[in-house]
Amino acid sequence: MDLIKENWNLIKETLRTEYDLSDISYNTWVKPLNFHSEKDDIVTIMIPSDQAHALKYISSKYKSYFQVTISEMMDHTYDISFILEKDAENETSSSKAVYNINYINANLNSKYRFDTFVVGGNNKFAHSASLAVAESPGEAYNPLYLYGGAGLGKTHLMHSIGHFILNQSPDMKVLYVTSEQFTNEVIESIRSGNAAKMNRLREKYRTVDVLLIDDVQFIIGKESTQEEFFHTFNVLHSAGKQIILSSDKPPKEMETLEERFRSRFEWGLIADIQPPDYETRYAILKKNAENYNKEIKEDVFQYIATNIKSNIRELEGAYNKVIAFARLNKLDITLENVQEALKDIISSNATRQVTPQLIIDIVAEHFGISPEDIISRKRNSEFVQPRQICMYLCRQLTEESLQSIGKALGKKDHTTVIHGIDKITEDIKTNAELKNRIEIIRKKINSD
């Protein structure tokens, strides 16, 4: 431990060189981080309290960089966790600190909790099964397999389970991953040919108390990834650890699913989520509007709930569009204005065309950024690639001209669009992770 502490600045400098960080990234994110402690091969790094807002970003972006750099420099495998300076100072209340570390490592979205989930006829069973699992992990149903169409609340329920468990038992190790993350980590470990890296990956997944894997259908059929998943599943299940999976279909309808997976998925409980009925759609809109400080008339809720039927993501998208439209044009939210604001969405909803807007929304959600960031002029790397992926997918999945793709992406010139498309076309030839990511986004776009 002393060695890590003594060499802390050197570790950060080495990381900077190894990962070729720009001055701005290094000075903003990495330089202010301090060593906190090392225990049981977990190195805890302190994030200054004034960067609390960036805690999630730092821990997701830099965790693996620190893990690799420290492990290589110290010739020993370490895991990494982050803690806010102010929590570290209060460490006498150490359960809070443990909670913090476990909470950060769990990879949960704080918006998705049971108390923000509207229960209706379409999701009642899945909701109560999720709550039962959250109350008694490893005991009630194992695995819990949630399935349903796109944007119906599977991810929301999975995160809710994770929050609930951590609130009840702060020392539990919970881990939520998308199958994309899981696949990319496996690809990366195999590609590196580094046995220590593969061991770290196994340790990461096989030592948790609760593993949540979202959209498991994207793992099935990918040979090495599904093999790794199979063994992870077996190790966890036989140790009585809770596994929660989500998918777009029940196991029996997944054509390429091998019998060994099918039987395992059916060991526990399978719960479906159906498209929301009118009352649920209406209740979700009402819940969204709780934080809005102006009056929204009943006929507006009724109009949106009547016309956007299949998918809650789209329902929320429509609501957000209405709010943005009203703010931008300084208008009241009247039925007439809402009809104007939603005219593209509602007329295309009937035929469910793939539009640039749909692509932008799904890519934005996938990267955890806003559609506004995608169409903005910001050149930060976390926006540039998603923007180029949108250009690439618009070209592939729609009939739009380069000009109109540029227009949908915030009035970009057609040469910028060509550059974006070429960049992605070239990069996927050599970057297996990017290829996998685009394949998953493409399936999400076409999933209804």
Residue 163 within binding range of ligand ATP, rule CB under 6 A? no
Output 16 or 444, the one with its CB closest to ligand ATP.
444
Binding mask 323-342 for ligand ATP (x = CB under 6 A): --------------------
- DSSP-assigned letter for residue 49: G
Which residue number places its CB atom closest to ligand ATP?
A: 153
Taking alpha carbons only, the member of 235, 140, 127, 221 closest to residue 179 is 221
Output 79 or 214, the one with its CB closest to ligand ATP.
214
β-pair type (210-214, 174-178):
parallel
Q: Which one of the spans 75-83, 90-98, 309-317, 328-336 is the region binding ligand ATP (CB under 6 A)?
A: 309-317
Residue 318 within binding range of ligand ATP, rule CB under 6 A? no
Residue 366 within binding range of ligand ATP, rule CB under 6 A? no
Chain-centre distance for alpha carbon 124: 24
Output 71 or 280, the one with its CB closest to ligand ATP.
280
* Among residues 137, 153, 268, 371, the one that binds ligand ATP under rule CB under 6 A: 153
Output 106 or 152, the one with its CB closest to ligand ATP.
152
Q: How far is the CB of 311 from ligand ATP (least distance, A)?
A: 8
DSSP labels for 254-291? -TT--HHHHHHHTSSEEEEEPPP-HHHHHHHHHHHHTT
Q: Which one of the spans 35-43, 167-175, 259-267, 312-320 is the region binding ligand ATP (CB under 6 A)?
A: 312-320
Secondary element (H or E) of residue 225: helix 223-238
CA distance 163 to 422: 41
- Confirm whether residue 154 is marked as ligand binding: yes
- Confirm whether residue 155 is marked as ligand binding: yes
β-pair type (42-47, 174-178):
unpaired
Q: How many residues of this chain interact with ligand ATP, rule: CB under 6 A?
A: 19
Secondary element (H or E) of residue 177: strand 174-178
Output 155 or 242, the one with its CB closest to ligand ATP.
155
- Write 30-36 long-range contacts (CB < 8 A, 24+): 30/62, 33/58, 33/62, 34/8, 34/85, 35/4, 35/5, 35/8, 36/83, 36/88
* Among residues 161, 312, 364, 421, the one that binds ligand ATP under rule CB under 6 A: 312
Taking alpha carbons only, the member of 112, 113, 52, 110 closest to residue 82 is 52
Contacts of 290 (CB under 8 A, 6+ apart): none
CA distance 36 to 39: 10
Residues within window 187-216 making contact with ligand ATP, judged by CB under 6 A? 215
CA distance 445 to 358: 7
Q: Which one of the spans 112-120, 249-257, 407-415, 435-443 is the region binding ligand ATP (CB under 6 A)?
A: 112-120
Residue 420 within binding range of ligand ATP, rule CB under 6 A? no
Q: How far is the CB of 119 from ligand ATP (least distance, A)?
A: 7
- Write 96-101 long-range contacts (CB < 8 A, 24+): 96/170, 98/170, 98/171, 99/166, 99/170, 99/171, 101/42, 101/44
CA distance 432 to 222: 12
* Among residues 161, 186, 220, 284, the one that binds ligand ATP under rule CB under 6 A: 284
Residue 152 within binding range of ligand ATP, rule CB under 6 A? yes
Residues within window 68-97 making contact with ligand ATP, judged by CB under 6 A? none
Q: How far is the CB of 436 from ligand ATP (least distance, A)?
A: 16
Residue 179 within binding range of ligand ATP, rule CB under 6 A? no
Residue 161 within binding range of ligand ATP, rule CB under 6 A? no
Q: How far is the CB of 103 from ligand ATP (least distance, A)?
A: 19
β-pair type (34-39, 42-47):
antiparallel
Supply 437's token pair.
């990511």
Residue 289 within binding range of ligand ATP, rule CB under 6 A? no
* Among residues 99, 117, 145, 265, the one that binds ligand ATP under rule CB under 6 A: 117
Taking alpha carbons only, the member of 228, 218, 221, 230 closest to residue 260 is 230
Binding mask 217-256 for ligand ATP (x = CB under 6 A): ----------------------------------------
Q: Which one of the spans 40-48, 110-118, 346-354, 375-383 is the region binding ligand ATP (CB under 6 A)?
A: 110-118
Residue 154 within binding range of ligand ATP, rule CB under 6 A? yes
CA distance 46 to 26: 16
CA distance 71 to 38: 12
Output 117 or 261, the one with its CB closest to ligand ATP.
117
- Confirm whether residue 221 is marked as ligand binding: no
Taking alpha carbons only, the member of 374, 104, 151 closest to residue 248 is 151
CA distance 150 to 233: 24
Residues at the site binding ligand ATP, with contacts judged by CB under 6 A: 112, 116-118, 123, 148, 150-156, 215, 284, 312-313, 316, 444
Give the residue numbers of the binding site for ATP.
151, 153-155
